[in-house]
């Protein structure tokens, strides 16, 4: 069997980021008959059977069984499970089983192992870029042949379909798309007379510190803000707020002064003012009233709304020099797994079509806080009612116009890990700012150098 | 009656210089065949299991350590010793992992040996409620590591955990155990030691109960008591148990994963990254299968050396009779 040489060039080209368009046809390499990717011989793949389904309820016996490995737990998984139950009730031919495998990273691991074992689910849901590695491995199958007048890429919000295609074929339909938000304890802010429902700046939040600390919760002074161990996604917006960029082409932190300003701010807020801190679990601390504000995805909206016993406030990400700042895009979409069964692929497409109905898309938005990805979902009565009664959900929609793909260096997992570690050192370990910048610069430059050929192929210089 | 030099029936003598060739009867040959078949029938299931699930993965891991693979592509690419060269470069994650593993293992094993021996000796006094205490002491060993991790995650929480209450009694603030590099390694060490302590205590307790009474009677006649009796009589008699607990303790501690996964995820940075966590992180987070396999090979070699050294030392120091 011929090996397909996967390189990041293929990945990035397929994404169409940087260059602005998907130009796969011009830069993908040859593939083996079984290798998949562009030019895969068939949408079917012999020897790749269905992973264990578990027990099928008696009322659904005798149907075509399909399996989805969901990258969600808790409330999100419950909301998805409910939609699956509705699907199973809605027709008589298909039984769709849903299993939680944990988070996105867990799904990546589980699906990778499943490909080795050749026992795979019929449907997966990967974040923005992750699906491409599986596309090149021939693990996914195009969706285009299943599209019809009712279900195709046109039904989705158009600024979220750019990452769906490889070459001329569609491998992902958007589903759980998000941006980061600033969540705050609105009751506390109101009690202290602090401004609410506004565009905050970081300096402004820092000034609130003494006032917020004047109130105690569980015998402790309330902190203003909680950092956490994996803040890379949010840190994209932080630096945009300070009018800097993590990388510009191959130049890492072209304006180091801006980075230094941001990092000094974070470090001093924690270790000089003492009004921010590095949390073990920021959302738990927020829910218990120990901290006044946290970051979170729009997808945290429903969970936080139900978990807190105070009025929840949601605002755009804080600005500083730039108000409002640019925010990074986030979230994931559904892909169809290439297996031996045409029947199961067709059945899975039916499920995808069902989940893309305005009613289901609206329900997912209501239950989770993710963007109502199907355009018509915004017109659903329940969605309109929600936005009328809970403006927090509207904030998430409004901020979408500020969303942008992150700097190239943070396209790579190693880049985001380095950035998270940098802020964990600053906020947790009180690390020296300049030493942190130097360490991050070294790691970033290494990442860009390792991927120079791929990035240059995208026209990045 | 056979003489000493008479060959045992059915066994071919070692010297083949005998003028008369030895022959075994058909019955004996049949019995030997049956015995052989029975031997293989009994040993084969275990042998197959060991080969398939033990030796084959070990050998395959060694092969993978010379490759570059991301698990997704159809086949690994051979890169020779590249993974090992990268591992042993200065500043590599392996150096941090080795240091952390050494600290974690040494503190956990030595701590549980001392603590377990003390608790075991105390339980052997047969005081009131010692049965209940035995059960309570052993209970953590029965819990899964992930549950221990979650439990300690709450206890370590500086805002609302037991740690906060404990430190506040002395007018101090609780350290941020799991979110700062200064304490993260100690947090996993404490949680692991707490889990293993009960097991070590019970092993020592049963060993102390089995110690020969006559030696103690003789020692008492010689005037030995208290610390002297413990130091010169009990400790040497317990040396086989101590040896067993040391070897199993080092191997178990060096393989600890679940507590790290729930408490710190190997962080912040690499401050609580041990060898098993690095192996996992490289394989299933970064998908650097070659690097992960090379790290696993290094860990295997280290544990093998440590065990061999311990065995050699034990042959001189452990008293089995």
What is the tens place of the pLDDT at every residue in B92-106?
Answer: 889 999 999 999 999
Q: Which residue of B has its CA nearest to A430?
A: B180
Q: Which residue of A has its CA nearest to B182?
A: A429
What is the tens place of the pLDDT at every residue in B97-139?
Answer: 999 999 999 999 999 999 999 999 888 887 788 788 888 888 8
Chain A nearest CA to B274, separation (Å): 17
To which residue do tokens 């740690």 refer?
B163
For the four alpha carbons of A185, A187, A192 and A198, in that order, the dihedral sign comes to: positive
Which pTM does this prediction carry? 0.78
| pLDDT at residue number B313 | 81
Closest CB from B73, B267, B285 relative to A229: B267
The verdict on a CB contact (< 8 Å) between A229 and B157 is no
Residues 121-180 of A with CB under 8 A from B: 133-134, 136-137, 139
Report d(CA A21, CA A23) in Å as an integer: 6
What is the tens place of the pLDDT at every residue in A122-178?
Answer: 999 998 767 877 887 889 999 999 999 999 999 998 877 877 887 789 999 999 988
Q: Which residue of B has its CA nearest to A33?
A: B74
Largest Cα–Cα separation, chain A:
69
Within 8 A of A413 by CB-CB distance, chain B residues are 285-286
For the four alpha carbons of A139, A144, A146 and A147, in that order, the dihedral sign comes to: positive
Closest CB from B75, B179, B286 relative to A278: B179
The verdict on a CB contact (< 8 Å) between B179 and A280 is yes
Q: Are A330 and A119 in contact (CB under 8 A)?
A: no
The verdict on a CB contact (< 8 Å) between A133 and B77 is no
| Both structure tokens of B16 | 């083949």
The verdict on a CB contact (< 8 Å) between A428 and B178 is no
> Mutating which of A101, A219, A280 best tests the B interface, going by the most B Cβ atoms within 10 A?
A280
Within 8 A of A131 by CB-CB distance, chain B residues are none
pLDDT bracket for residue B281 (50, 70, 90): confident
The verdict on a CB contact (< 8 Å) between B74 and A35 is yes
Question: Residue A182: exposed, middle, or buried by beta-carbon count in 10 A (0-12, 13-18, 19+)?
Answer: buried
How many Cβ pairs closer than 8 A exist between chain A and B? 79
| pLDDT at residue number B46 | 95
The verdict on a CB contact (< 8 Å) between B181 and A113 is no
Residues of B near A (Cβ–Cβ under 8 Å) read 70-75, 77, 153, 156-160, 176, 178-182, 265, 267-269, 284-287
| pLDDT at residue number A129 | 66
| pLDDT at residue number A459 | 66
Q: How far is CA A105 from CA A332, B69, B72, B284, in A?
A: 12, 18, 15, 9
Per the rule left: phi > 0, alpha: psi between -120 and 50, beta: everything else, A218 is left
Predicted confidence (pLDDT) at residue B318 exceeds the cutoff of 80: no
Provide φ and ψ at A101, rounded to 5°. -110, 5
| pLDDT at residue number B268 | 82
| pLDDT at residue number A457 | 66
Q: Which residue of A has its CA nearest to B269?
A: A421
Closest CB from B70, B265, B268 relative to A429: B268
Question: Residue A127: exposed, middle, or buried by beta-carbon count in 10 A (0-12, 13-18, 19+)?
Answer: buried
The verdict on a CB contact (< 8 Å) between B285 and A105 is yes
How confident is the prediction for chain B on average, in pLDDT? 87
Within 8 A of B93 by CB-CB distance, chain A residues are none
**A7 in reach of chain B (CB within 8 A):** no
Provide φ and ψ at A68, rounded to 5°. -120, 130
For the segment B188-204, the average pLDDT, to the nearest whole number, is: 95
Closest CB from B71, B178, B267 relative to A116: B71
Q: Are B264 and B277 in contact (CB under 8 A)?
A: no
- Contacts of residue B90, defined as CB under 8 A and 6 or more positions apart, other chains included, come to none
Within 8 A of B74 by CB-CB distance, chain A residues are 1, 3-4, 32, 34-35, 137
Closest CB from A116, A134, A428 relative to B268: A428
CB A449: neighbour CB atoms within 10 A? 11
* pLDDT per residue of chain A (461 residues) written in tens, 0 to 9: 333 333 444 444 444 333 332 222 222 222 333 444 444 558 999 999 999 998 999 999 999 999 999 999 998 999 999 999 999 999 999 999 999 999 888 898 899 889 989 999 999 999 876 787 788 788 999 999 999 999 999 999 887 787 788 778 999 999 998 899 999 999 999 999 999 999 999 999 999 999 999 999 988 899 999 999 889 999 999 999 999 999 998 999 999 999 999 999 999 999 999 999 999 889 999 999 999 999 999 989 988 999 999 999 999 999 999 999 999 988 899 999 999 999 999 999 999 999 999 999 999 999 988 989 999 999 999 999 999 999 999 998 899 889 887 888 887 777 888 899 899 999 998 999 999 999 999 989 988 987 787 677 656 77
Helices (H), A91-185: 104-117, 131-136
> Mutating which of A4, A429, A431, A443 best tests the B interface, going by the most B Cβ atoms within 10 A?
A429
The verdict on a CB contact (< 8 Å) between B178 and A280 is yes
The verdict on a CB contact (< 8 Å) between A285 and B159 is yes
What is the tens place of the pLDDT at every residue in B143-172?
Answer: 999 999 999 999 999 888 899 999 999 999
Chain A nearest CA to B171, separation (Å): 13
Chain B nearest CA to A278, separation (Å): 7
DSSP letters spanning B126-143: --TTHHHHHHHHHHHHHS
The verdict on a CB contact (< 8 Å) between A137 and B73 is yes
The verdict on a CB contact (< 8 Å) between B159 and A429 is no
Chain A nearest CA to B195, separation (Å): 22
| pLDDT at residue number B321 | 54
Within 8 A of A280 by CB-CB distance, chain B residues are 153, 156-158, 176, 178-179
Predicted confidence (pLDDT) at residue B77 exceeds the cutoff of 90: yes
The verdict on a CB contact (< 8 Å) between B182 and A32 is no
Within 8 A of B75 by CB-CB distance, chain A residues are 1, 3
Chain A nearest CA to B265, separation (Å): 10
Secondary structure of residue B286 in the 3-state scheme: coil
Task: Give the angle subtended at the CA of A180 by the CAs of A208 and A225, to the nearest 5°.
Answer: 25
Predicted confidence (pLDDT) at residue B67 exceeds the cutoff of 80: yes
**A210 in reach of chain B (CB within 8 A):** no
| Both structure tokens of A214 | 């004047």
The verdict on a CB contact (< 8 Å) between B180 and A4 is no
Within 8 A of B67 by CB-CB distance, chain A residues are none
Half-sphere exposure of A293 (CA within 13 A, CB side): 27
The verdict on a CB contact (< 8 Å) between B74 and A425 is no
The verdict on a CB contact (< 8 Å) between B75 and A414 is no
Chain B nearest CA to A456, separation (Å): 23
Largest Cα–Cα separation, chain B:
94
């Amino acid at each position: 069997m011929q090996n397909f040489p996967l390189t990041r060039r293929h990945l990035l080209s397929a994404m169409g980021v940087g260059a602005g368009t998907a130009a796969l046809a011009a830069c993908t390499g040859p593939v083996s008959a079984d290798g998949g990717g562009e030019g895969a011989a068939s949408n079917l793949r012999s020897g790749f059977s269905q992973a264990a389904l578990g027990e099928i309820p008696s009322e659904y016996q005798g149907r075509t069984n399909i399996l989805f490995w969901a990258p969600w737990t808790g409330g999100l998984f419950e909301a998805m499970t409910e939609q699956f139950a509705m699907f199973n009730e809605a027709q008589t031919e298909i039984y769709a089983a849903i299993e939680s495998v944990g988070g996105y990273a867990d799904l990546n691991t589980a699906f990778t192992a499943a490909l080795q074992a050749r026992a795979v689910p019929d449907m997966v849901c990967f974040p923005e870029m992750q699906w491409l590695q599986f596309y090149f491995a021939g693990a996914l199958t195009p969706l285009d042949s299943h599209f019809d007048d009712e279900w195709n890429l046109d039904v989705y919000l158009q600024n979220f379909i750019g990452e769906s295609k490889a070459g001329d074929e569609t491998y992902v339909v958007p589903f759980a798309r998000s941006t980061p938000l600033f969540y705050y304890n609105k009751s506390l802010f109101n009690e202290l007379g602090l401004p609410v429902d506004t565009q905050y700046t970081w300096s402004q939040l820092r000034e609130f510190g003494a006032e917020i600390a004047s109130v105690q919760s569980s015998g402790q002074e309330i902190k203003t803000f909680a950092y956490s161990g994996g803040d890379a996604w949010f840190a994209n917006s932080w630096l945009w707020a300070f009018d800097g960029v993590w990388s510009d082409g191959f130049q890492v932190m072209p304006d180091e002064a801006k980075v230094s300003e941001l990092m000094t701010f974070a470090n001093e807020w924690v270790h000089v003012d003492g009004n921010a801190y590095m949390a073990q679990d920021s959302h738990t601390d927020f829910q218990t009233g120990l901290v006044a504000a946290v970051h979170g995805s729009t997808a945290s909206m429903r969970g936080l709304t139900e978990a807190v016993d105070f009025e929840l406030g949601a605002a755009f990400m804080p600005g500083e020099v730039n108000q409002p700042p640019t925010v990074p895009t986030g979230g994931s979409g559904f892909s169809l797994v290439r297996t031996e069964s045409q029947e199961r692929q067709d059945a899975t497409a039916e499920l995808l079509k069902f989940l893309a109905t305005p009613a289901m898309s609206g329900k997912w938005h209501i239950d989770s806080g993710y963007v109502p990805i199907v355009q018509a979902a915004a017109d659903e009565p329940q969605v309109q009612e929600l936005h009328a009664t809970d403006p927090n959900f509207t904030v998430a929609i409004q901020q979408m116009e500020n969303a942008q793909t992150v700097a190239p260096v943070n396209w790579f997992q190693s880049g985001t890990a380095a950035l998270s570690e940098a802020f964990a050192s600053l906020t947790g370990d009180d690390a020296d700012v300049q030493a942190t910048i130097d360490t991050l610069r070294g790691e970033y430059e290494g990442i860009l150098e390792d991927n120079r050929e791929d990035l240059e192929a995208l026209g990045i210089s | 009656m056979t003489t000493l030099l008479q060959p045992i029936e059915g066994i071919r003598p070692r010297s083949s210089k005998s003028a008369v060739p030895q022959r075994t009867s058909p019955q004996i040959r049949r019995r030997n065949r049956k015995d052989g078949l029975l031997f293989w029938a009994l040993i084969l299931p275990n042998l197959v299991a060991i080969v398939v699930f033990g030796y084959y993965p070990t050998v395959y891991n060694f092969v993978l350590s010379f490759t570059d693979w991301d698990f997704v592509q159809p086949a690994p690419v051979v890169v020779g010793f590249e993974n090992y060269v990268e591992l042993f470069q200065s500043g590599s994650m392996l150096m941090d992992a080795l240091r952390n593993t050494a600290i974690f293992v040494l503190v956990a094993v030595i701590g549980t040996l001392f603590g377990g021996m003390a608790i075991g000796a105390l339980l052997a006094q047969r005081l009131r409620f010692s049965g209940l205490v035995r059960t309570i002491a052993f209970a953590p060993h029965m819990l899964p590591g992930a549950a221990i991790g979650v439990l300690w995650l709450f206890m370590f929480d500086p805002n609302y955990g037991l740690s906060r209450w404990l430190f506040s009694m002395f007018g101090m603030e609780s350290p941020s155990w799991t979110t700062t590099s200064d304490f993260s390694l100690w947090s996993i060490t404490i949680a692991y030691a707490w889990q293993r302590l009960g097991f070590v205590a019970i092993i020592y307790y049963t060993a102390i109960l089995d110690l020969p009474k006559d030696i103690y009677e003789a020692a008492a006649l010689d005037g030995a008591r208290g610390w002297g009796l413990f130091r010169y009589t009990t400790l040497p008699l317990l040396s086989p148990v101590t040896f067993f607990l040391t070897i199993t303790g080092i191997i178990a501690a060096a393989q600890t994963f679940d507590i790290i996964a729930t408490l710190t995820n190997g962080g912040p940075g690499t401050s609580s990254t041990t060898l098993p966590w690095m192996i996992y992180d490289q394989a299933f987070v970064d998908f650097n299968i070659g690097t992960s396999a090379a790290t696993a090979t290094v860990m295997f070699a280290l544990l093998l050396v440590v065990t061999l050294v311990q065995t050699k030392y034990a042959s001189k120091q452990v008293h089995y009779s």
